[in-house]
Amino acid sequence: MSAATTRGRPVSIPPAARSAAFRAARADVAAGARAPRMLTAPPRRGWWPDAVGTFTWVTALIVVALWVSGGGIQALLPLGADTMSSLGRLSGLLASDLMLLQVLGMARIPWAERSFGQDRLARWHRLMGLWSFYLLLAHLVTIVIGYAGSSGQTFLGEAWSMILTFPGMLIATAGTLMIWFVVVTSIRVARRKLRYESWHLLHLYAYLGIALALPHQLWTGTDFIGHRWATIYWWSLYAFALASVLIYRVGQPAWLSLRHSLRVAAVVHEGPNIVTVHLTGQHLKDMRVAAGQFFVWRFLTGPGWSRGHPFSLSGAPTTAGLRLTIGTGGDDGERIATLKPGTRVLIEGPYGRMTADVRTRPRVAVFASGLGIAPLMSLLHEHIPTEGPATLVYRMSRADDEVLAADIDWLVQNTGLRHIPLVGPRSRVGTPWLPQQLGHVAGPDAVRLLVPDLDDHDVFVCGPGPWSDAIEADLRAAGVPPEALHVENFSW
């Protein structure tokens, strides 16, 4: 038996009823009810990825060119105070450029999301964040040393004088402290001690930090105000970054939430610390969302409503509603588990490219661990086998940890899904993504044994970061090309 919450009180829902609801959703899909609102994603490899990469390098070259045109190279020799000031200008320009690219990378611009996916954008975001932080430190140290050398003051005396007397330096100092705070809390050791929602909320201060730290250069920086084209370039880049954030992180989510007016229909307790949330709304036939994608959800239950939760759909989206399956043992889990029917929900998305649009081969194999089954189940709901059944390899520590068992049974009986559970404690020697009793099998060999006709399959992987990384490496070693391998993990 499972339980749903109605007006705050648990109510029994038999598995048969849940299976009936699932069959109704499948019938809705089969009838084509969701076709008008399917997201039409562009091909996996279009011209956008190359254009974005080119844009990144072009902005760096423009920054260096502005520094050179402003006398940056000439100021390097002879070595002295002017050398440090010139290096400070260059490091400040590059830090500014990377910070703005960071903002653009995580502004949730739709074509960037569909071209690269959240995992890849997040990796770039972290890399650019690290280098922009180093360059910002270099800028602060070298520019103060340069000015101190020219004025004859001590390092600390010059730093204090600059903060108090230079236009915009007080707010720039406040912005820099915010950026440092975000960087410190993003270090893996510190991050593990924070709830995801708390870390995410604190991370938003980076936007404010960047907004405060950079404008002083627009007011006083030689490379910003010395040339008309430099001024046009920098103000244009600032405006583009600001507009992207306002449109895609604020305006679009607000419009979607208002238009579709999602509300909780029921909360079904699937097992220990696992619930499925069913949602209904308005104009769902016009919602451009595909199976396998995720939203950032905010449940309007009072205190804590502002915290966003990135949850994947666990069923193919239909005109009847949306479904997500989540663990309640983590952040905000208890609050979500006791959601009342009718609770309003704000959404941001959809995001992710674990969708059918990226497929390049006729068949599908999915590898899931724990709640990584959610987006993959959504894909399996939508998949109609034409050249052989799909394959589900599901890793779990115990047999009773299986999530969405009723859905899996239905797919096995009605679509011929090959369900391969890998049950048992994690292997501590040999292949780490296999259970202990199978750890002696080499990873690439295990992949081929589980999916003998692997070369005919697109492979989707979703689970915790280390598990996903390990199986991704073995899938590549087994010969799965990048265009047929689609990975999403839970690392943050």
pLDDT tens profile 113-162: 766 666 677 777 778 888 888 898 899 899 899 989 888 889 999 889 88
Residues in the chain with pLDDT values less than 50: 1-45
pLDDT for 197:
62
- Mark whether 272 and 148 lie in a shared domain: no
d(CA 18, CA 399): 20
pLDDT for 9:
30
- Mark whether 292 and 404 lie in a shared domain: no
Token output for 469? 């990384």
For the chain, the distance separating the N- and C-terminal CA atoms, rounded to the nearest angstrom, is 34
SS3 state at 240: helix
pLDDT for 43:
41
pLDDT for 449:
95
Query: For the chain, what is the domain count?
Result: 3
Task: Dump pLDDT digits (tens) for 244-269.
Answer: 989 998 999 999 999 999 999 999 88
pLDDT for 52:
66
> In angstroms, what is the C-alpha Rg of the chain?
26
pLDDT for 18:
41
Beta-sheet strand order (sheet of 263-271): 9-13, 2-6, 263-271, 274-280, 322-327
Last residue of a domain, one of 321, 351, 381: 351
- Mark whether 237 and 172 lie in a shared domain: yes
pLDDT for 299:
93
pLDDT for 42:
38
Judge if the upstream peptide bond of residue 78 is cis by omega within 30 degrees of 0. Answer: yes
pTM to 2 decimal places: 0.75
SS3 state at 292: coil
Task: Dump pLDDT digits (tens) for 100-110.
Answer: 888 887 788 87
pLDDT for 40:
37
- Mark whether 75 and 138 lie in a shared domain: yes
Residue 226 inside a domain? The answer is yes
CATH of the domain at 324: 2.40.30.10
Residue 176 inside a domain? The answer is yes
**DSSP secondary structure letters along 384-420:** --SSS--EEEEEESSGGG-SSHHHHHHHHHHH--EEE
pLDDT for 219:
65
d(CA 98, CA 198): 25
d(CA 399, CA 470): 22
pLDDT for 215:
72
d(CA 322, CA 377): 13
Last residue of a domain, one of 326, 351, 376: 351
Residue 117: domain span: 48-252
CB 169 within 8 A of CB 196: no
Nearest Cα neighbor of 471 from 395, 418, 420 is 395
CATH of the domain at 60: 1.20.120.1770
Residue 475 inside a domain? The answer is yes
Phi, psi (degrees; rounded to nearest 5) at 222:
-60, -40
Beta-sheet strand order (sheet of 345-351): 309-312, 294-299, 345-351
